[in-house]
Amino acid sequence: MHISKLPKLSESIFSTMSALANKHNAINLSQGFPNFKTSEKLQQLVTEAMQKGYNQYAPMRGDLELREVIAHKIFKSYQTKYDATNEITITAGATEALFNAITAFVHKDDEVIIFKPAFDSYEPVVRLNGGVPIFIQLNYPNYKVNWEEVADKISTKTRMIIINTPLNPTGTLFDKSDMLALQNIIKNTDIIVISDEVYEHMTYDGLTHQSACKYPILKEQSFVIASFGKTFHNTGWKMGYAAAPKHLMDEFVKVHEFNVFSINTPYQKAFAIFIQDENNYNYLNQFYQNKRDLFLKGIENSNFSYTPCKGTYFQLLKYNKITEENDVEFAKRLVKEFKIATIPISVFNTNQLDEKVLRFCFAKTDETIHKATEILCQIH
């Protein structure tokens, strides 16, 4: 008998809901991708790089010019330095970076603390490496971390803590007090932190992103992971990066080298030019706040309740005034009857905890948002 390492894992909810959306010709607010175009200038830079002959393998850790640009961007954003040569690696999206960091350090029976609800790739990668996920459930609407509970979960087997801020799927942020509490927990330990920061440029209402690299002790024990796809509206390009101290990155690249070896060369050349202009990303906070506000204004007269998200391009809506259906069944019914696709939050929770909450992606054109909110106001 052929026994998989992940026998209980089935198709992701993203694949399920997107397939349903396509089948029923529904507005797809489920999976986290924009339905508007990436920058024309960026596309032109990719084409130019191809035409100039940058079509063979890039250096294993990534194009050095791009890594230098990223190091400068990080310094300007968070006032901390990474060595571009040894401490930054370009990856096949944030997902590969997550896989590499976990695989490099998690051994059989090591414990990895994961806050729920969580992005669905964390747990399977931990299990693939023989690790044991230790879940800490956060609750609607604020999803605040009880750091005393986290401290109580630390054991001699704790190898890693994974955080995600801004947090997908909740749209919440870790604030300064959260980062200081985490830093206090890991100091004088060998615990590694993975800080998934793919939505770093999407924070609202004057709130600022708290990167792990801003905190000296955290930085020395952390991988900071980012995504070009999320930032520059091109998720299909699958490009991102990881930043970490040399002693961590040297182990990370051992997995990276024998996983993908290197990343798409002309795209790296294009990003190396495009990212130099901070105007190509500094507008995003206001851009997406406007879309969030448009979405929320559109559902003012609906039967959904909500707390405005603080970050990401996801808004949670609570539907307990509409139906007692579980969130998976209600989400499927919305696609079939109302032609709108969303994501049920229970699939991200411990033991499928159902708080009657759905996640909606507002990284869409204004026209799509208007159409979607008109439909949502008709649901009773």
Give the pLDDT of residue 338: 98
Q: Looking at the DSSP assignment, which residues form a beta bridge with residue 114?
A: 135, 162
Structure tokens at 328: 């998976």
Q: Which residue, chain included where needed, has tokens 């040399």?
A: 246
Where do the CATH 3.90.1150.10 domains begin and end in the chain? Answer: 13-31+283-376
**Span 42-277: which CATH code?**
3.40.640.10
Say how many C-beta atoms besides its own lie within 10 A of residue 341's C-beta: 26
SS3 220: helix
- Counted residue by residue, the chain has a size of 380
Give the pLDDT of residue 173: 98
pTM, two decimals, is 0.97
Give the pLDDT of residue 14: 83
Is the CB of residue 104 less than 8 Å from the CB of residue 125?
Answer: no
Domain 13-31+283-376 has CATH 3.40.50.300: no
Q: Give DSSP secondary structure letters for 31-99.
A: SS--SSPPPHHHHHHHHHHHHTT--SPPPTT--HHHHHHHHHHHHHHHS----TTTSEEEESHHHHHHH
Closest by CA to 359, choosing from 322, 309, 290, is 309
Give the pLDDT of residue 15: 85
The upper half-sphere exposure of residue 270, i.e. CA atoms within 13 Å in the direction of its Cβ, equals: 26
Give the pLDDT of residue 161: 99
Closest by CA to 103, choosing from 260, 256, 247, is 256
pLDDT in tens, 95-146: 999 999 999 999 999 999 999 999 999 999 999 999 999 999 999 999 999 9
CA distance 234 to 37: 8
Give the pLDDT of residue 215: 99
Give the pLDDT of residue 31: 87
CA distance 380 to 377: 8
Give the pLDDT of residue 267: 99
Give the pLDDT of residue 268: 99
Residues of the chain short of pLDDT 50, as ranges, are none
Where do the CATH 3.40.640.10 domains begin and end in the chain? Answer: 42-277
Give the pLDDT of residue 3: 84
